[in-house]
């Protein structure tokens, strides 16, 4: 019999039993130490595996390291399992370390140092303490054989649990391996798909650029139609971009649904109805705008003593605006009226997944009526698939697009948003109407309405062009900034008034800072521009250029705002917005600052709904039953009938009351008044001979930049020139014939 084995005596005595129990206790204690240690390691490995699995998509190198760690733990666990099985279910025991033997304490209750790593020396002390406790407990009869057997059962149960954990760990390692393969494959596909999506959107954008220029694309057609192609609405429906009158509401300009193209980006708007709001100042919040306050009552009118004197002076101001009197006829014309340009600003807003949609601007009754991007797309499909329209006209089309890839390879998504923006661009004293604008003969709409040119020019359907130079029209081959560039250059982008942004590009070892056209002054890049001069000549030895590849109507401003996408390339990081001009407004003291008869503001006493009810009950319709006063929201009527006359034509989309409304005045009398808000015309037929226009659509159409339109326009002008030449030839022939007849008859011509 070997000295290394526990001996079971033939006759059980207390001392023999104590010795055998001591031997088993030492073996059990050692085994429990090993198993517990492996259990802790396995539990930690499982936790670590679960934690790392979530991150496995981002790091294949981490997955490889994790696999190596798992492999080692599995190997250690399998070894521990074999050791435990050998001890519990058979095997030899030895005090001295030897191959294939299980550890057993020596006669002094000690485990030889060769059995365990040095870091387990503290565990030996714990085992010794447990041994002493077990022996002492037996001596005190506190442990019996039943408890020892239960301890063995628990050890067997724990061994089985260890096998289950080992299998789970093996399964986890397999799953991690599969994830590793899928992650590598997904990483390649994600990167490829991201760049493909970005490329496809930009490819469509490039095709849009080649199809035409930045400008208005279409207006909603409504019920219009006919047998001829030009019977169908283009950028003009019942008016250009469906403009209409809300002059009875303070600071509200009626504009319906239409679409624009800005540097190849297509946007279809909701019903807009925005006011005259200008860009913010430097440092203001994102999308913050400022109200453009109308000019105050001119100084000489304010100094007049009676309402009649004020009205007489106001008539002179209107006659000067219409070009019928010189500016010197009054004392303060420079401050009486100004031009305000309105346009659509298109910009790439950085989109964070899951964030709520915010409407960039309010529009009276009109707002985006969904709060998430998926809902916006579903709403568009819901109405668009069947060709139905949103009855409130609050649906729109904007694009969500991949616009960049971040440093981790993830797509950067932007929403191509739009907002209305307006800005004062000069006084009527600086830019008289006739010197600034030409009537533009939109031939398709001209034919569609079957109007004479005079009828068309005096209708809401008319379009205008800003002259190339003040007082000069149709300067052929004009290769430099025009008058419209001078005006638009006064409009800042998102960084607002007062910004000092410049624009520079680093490439080919040079720093190319853009200059103001034809100068060495840095370009004011934070304001809208389309012409500039490069610091260095290009490969074609040119330095003066327009923005874009072939877009003649592309106005761009730089911005540093974090909500607007900034694109990096090399050492340069730049962000841009785009401006599509729509119209010019004449904003004057008549837009709310001319109340000579003292009509009372009753906004606090009467809601607009109450005033509407009163109007429906007959108030304001006659001198005998006047309205008690005006309300800025819906009954914004301050301009006296003494200055104006009959009503101008209206449209179904208008909210103004034809013919004016009677109001109670400060002297107790009732007088008729006309709207003080923004409309197309002032009713000045008796004074000026025709209504005075205050809204001038100056937009460019997208298709007018196409190759086809250029050839059509050239052919049209050629036909007009031929026709004019034929008319002139006929005129000369008729004159010659008349002279010949006169000579025959002896009559002098």
Residue 599's Cβ-count burial label (10 Å; 0-12, 13-18, 19+) is buried
165 & 270 share domain: no
pLDDT of residue 113: 60
Residue 558's Cβ-count burial label (10 Å; 0-12, 13-18, 19+) is buried
Q: Which two tokens stand for residue 286?
A: 């994102």
Q: For 692-746, what is each residue's pLDDT tens digit?
A: 999 999 999 999 999 998 888 888 888 888 888 888 888 888 888 888 877 788 7
Sorted by sequence, the CB contacts under 8 Å of residue 17 that are 6+ apart come out as none
Q: How confident is the model at residue 155 (pLDDT cuts 50, 70, 90)?
A: low
Q: For 239-264, what is each residue's pLDDT tens digit?
A: 999 999 999 999 999 999 999 999 99
Q: Has residue 240 been placed in a domain? A: yes
217 & 156 share domain: no
Q: Which two tokens stand for residue 206?
A: 């490039």
User: How far, in Å, CA of 384 to CA of 654, rounded?
Assistant: 26
pLDDT of residue 190: 72
pLDDT of residue 720: 82
Q: Has residue 601 been placed in a domain? A: no
Q: For 26-66, what is each residue's pLDDT tens digit?
A: 665 565 566 556 656 666 665 665 565 555 444 455 555 65
Find the Cα–Cα–Cα–Cα dihedral 373, 379, 385, 386, rounded to 10°. Answer: -170
511 & 414 share domain: yes
Cα dihedral sign, 643-647-648-651:
positive
User: Which backbone phi and psi does 157 adopt, to 5 degrees?
Assistant: -60, -40
For 165-276, where are the E strands, in sequence order?
215-219, 243-244, 254-255, 258-262, 265-268
Nearest residue to 340 via CA among 14, 652, 596, 585: 585
168 & 65 share domain: yes
pLDDT of residue 141: 46
> Distance of alpha carbon 227 from its chain centroid, rounded?
40
493 & 582 share domain: yes
Q: Has residue 324 been placed in a domain? A: no
- pLDDT > 60? residue 429: yes
137 & 278 share domain: no
User: Which backbone phi and psi does 472 adopt, to 5 degrees?
Assistant: -120, 135
133 & 250 share domain: no
Residue ending a domain, choose from 544, 559, 588:
588
- pLDDT > 90? residue 85: no
| 509 Rama class: left (phi>0) / alpha (psi -120 to 50) / beta | left
User: Which backbone phi and psi does 312 adopt, to 5 degrees?
Assistant: -60, -40
648 & 685 share domain: yes
583 & 675 share domain: no
**CB neighbour burial string for 609-621, b if at least 16 within 10 angstroms, e if fewer:** eebeebbeeebbb
- pLDDT > 50? residue 8: no
Domain that holds residue 613: 608-697
Q: Which DSSP state fits 470?
A: T
The two counts, helices (H) then strands (E), for the chain are 14, 27
Q: Has residue 452 been placed in a domain? A: yes
Between residues 688 and 100, the one the model is more confident about:
688
- The per-residue pLDDT of the chain, averaged, comes to 83
pLDDT of residue 681: 94
Domain count, the chain: 4
User: How far, in Å, CA of 697 to CA of 159, rounded?
Assistant: 87
690 & 714 share domain: no
Q: What value does the mean pLDDT take over residues 436-456?
A: 86
Q: Has residue 330 been placed in a domain? A: no
Q: For 466-498, what is each residue's pLDDT tens digit?
A: 999 999 887 767 788 999 999 999 999 999 999
Q: Which range, of 163-172, 318-327, 572-581, 610-619, averages the lowest pLDDT?
A: 163-172
- pLDDT > 90? residue 577: yes
User: How far, in Å, CA of 228 to CA of 334, rounded?
Assistant: 48
675 & 733 share domain: no
User: How far, in Å, CA of 672 to CA of 644, rounded?
Assistant: 10
Crossing angle of helices 14-54/145-211, nearest 10°? 10
Q: Which two tokens stand for residue 328?
A: 């010197």
Euclidean distance between the first and the last CA atom of the chain, given in angstroms as a whole number: 159
Q: Residue 395: CA atoms inside 13 Å, Cβ hemisphere, count?
A: 16
Q: Has residue 686 been placed in a domain? A: yes
- pLDDT > 50? residue 88: no
378 & 424 share domain: yes
pTM of the entire predicted model: 0.74
Q: Which two tokens stand for residue 577?
A: 């917005």
CA 470, 472, 476: angle at the middle one, nearest 5?
Answer: 130
Q: Has residue 612 been placed in a domain? A: yes
Q: How confident is the model at residue 461 (pLDDT cuts 50, 70, 90)?
A: very high
Q: Which DSSP state fits 226?
A: -
């Amino acid at each position: 019999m070997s000295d290394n084995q526990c001996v079971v005596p033939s006759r059980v005595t207390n001392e023999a039993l104590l010795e055998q129990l001591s031997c088993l206790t030492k073996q059990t204690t050692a085994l429990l130490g090993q198993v517990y240690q492996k259990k802790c390691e396995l539990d930690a490995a499982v936790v670590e595996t679960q934690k790392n699995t979530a991150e496995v998509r981002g790091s294949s190198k981490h997955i490889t390291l994790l696999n190596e760690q798992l492999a080692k733990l599995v190997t250690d666990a399998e070894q521990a399992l074999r050791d435990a099985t050998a001890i519990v279910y058979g095997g030899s025991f030895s005090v001295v370390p030897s191959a294939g033997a299980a550890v057993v304490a020596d006669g002094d209750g000690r485990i030889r140092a060769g059995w365990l790593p040095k870091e387990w020396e503290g565990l030996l002390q714990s085992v010794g303490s447990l041994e002493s406790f077990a022996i002492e407990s037996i001596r005190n009869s506190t442990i019996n054989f039943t408890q020892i057997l239960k301890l063995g059962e628990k050890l067997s149960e724990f061994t089985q649990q260890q096998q289950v954990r080992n299998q789970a760990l093996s399964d986890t390692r397999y799953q991690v391996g599969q994830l590793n393969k899928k992650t590598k494959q997904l990483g390649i596909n994600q990167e490829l798909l991201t760049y493909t999506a970005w490329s496809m959107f930009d490819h469509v954008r490039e095709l849009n650029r080649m199809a035409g220029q930045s400008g208005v694309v279409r207006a909603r057609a409504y019920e219009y139609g006919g047998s001829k192609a030009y019977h169908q609405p283009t950028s003009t429906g019942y008016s250009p971009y469906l403009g209409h009158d809300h002059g009875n509401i303070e600071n509200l300009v009626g504009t319906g649904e239409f679409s624009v193209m800005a540097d190849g980006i297509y946007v279809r708007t909701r019903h807009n109805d925005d006011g005259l709001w200008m860009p913010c100042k430097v440092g203001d919040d994102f999308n913050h705008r400022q109200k453009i306050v109308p000019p105050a009552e001119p100084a000489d009118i304010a100094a007049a003593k009676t309402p009649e004197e004020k009205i007489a002076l106001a008539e002179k101001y209107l006659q000067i605006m219409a070009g019928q009197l010189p500016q010197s006829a009054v004392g303060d014309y420079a401050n009486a009226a100004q031009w305000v340009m309105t346009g659509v600003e298109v910009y790439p807003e950085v989109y964070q997944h899951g964030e709520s949609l915010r409407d960039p601007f309010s529009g009276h009754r009109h707002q985006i009526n969904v709060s998430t991007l998926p809902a916006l797309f579903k709403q568009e499909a819901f109405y668009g698939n069947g060709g139905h329209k949103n009855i409130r006209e609050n649906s729109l089309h904007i694009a969500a697009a991949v616009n960049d890839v971040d440093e981790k390879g993830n797509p950067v998504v932007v929403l191509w948003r739009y907002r209305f923006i307006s800005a004062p661009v000069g006084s009527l004293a600086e830019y008289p109407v006739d010197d600034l604008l030409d009537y533009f003969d939109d031939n398709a709409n001209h034919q569609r309405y079957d109007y004479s040119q005079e009828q068309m020019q005096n209708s809401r359907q008319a379009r205008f062009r800003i002259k190339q130079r003040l007082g000069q029209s149709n300067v052929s081959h004009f290769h430099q900034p025009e008058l419209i560039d001078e005006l638009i250059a006064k409009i800042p982008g998102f960084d607002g008034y007062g910004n000092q942004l410049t624009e520079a590009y680093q490439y080919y070892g040079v720093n190319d800072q853009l200059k103001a056209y034809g100068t060495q002054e840095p370009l004011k890049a934070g304001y809208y521009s389309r012409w500039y001069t490069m610091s260095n000549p290009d490969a074609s030895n040119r330095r003066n250029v327009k923005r874009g590849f072939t877009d003649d109507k592309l106005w761009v401003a730089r911005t540093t705002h974090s909500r607007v996408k900034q694109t990096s390339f090399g050492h340069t990081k730049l962000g841009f917005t785009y401006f599509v001009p729509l119209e010019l407004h004449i904003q004057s003291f008549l837009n709310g600052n001319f109340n000579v008869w003292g009509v009372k503001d009753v906004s606090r006493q009467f809601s607009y709904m109450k005033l509407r009810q009163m109007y429906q009950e007959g108030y304001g319709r006659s001198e005998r039953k006047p309205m008690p006063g005006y309300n800025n929201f819906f009954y914004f009527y301050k301009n006296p009938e003494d200055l104006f006359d009959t009503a101008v034509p209206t449209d179904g989309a208008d909210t103004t009351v034809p013919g004016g409304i009677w109001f109670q005045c400060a002297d107790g009398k009732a007088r008729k008044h006309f709207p003080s808000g923004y409309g197309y015309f002032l009713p000045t037929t008796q004074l000026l001979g025709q209504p005075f226009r205050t809204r001038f659509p100056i937009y460019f159409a997208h298709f007018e930049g196409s190759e086809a339109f250029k050839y059509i326009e050239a052919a049209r002008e050629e036909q007009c020139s031929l026709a004019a030449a034929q008319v002139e030839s006929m005129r000369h022939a008729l004159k010659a014939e008349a002279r010949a007849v006169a000579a025959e008859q002896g009559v002098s011509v």
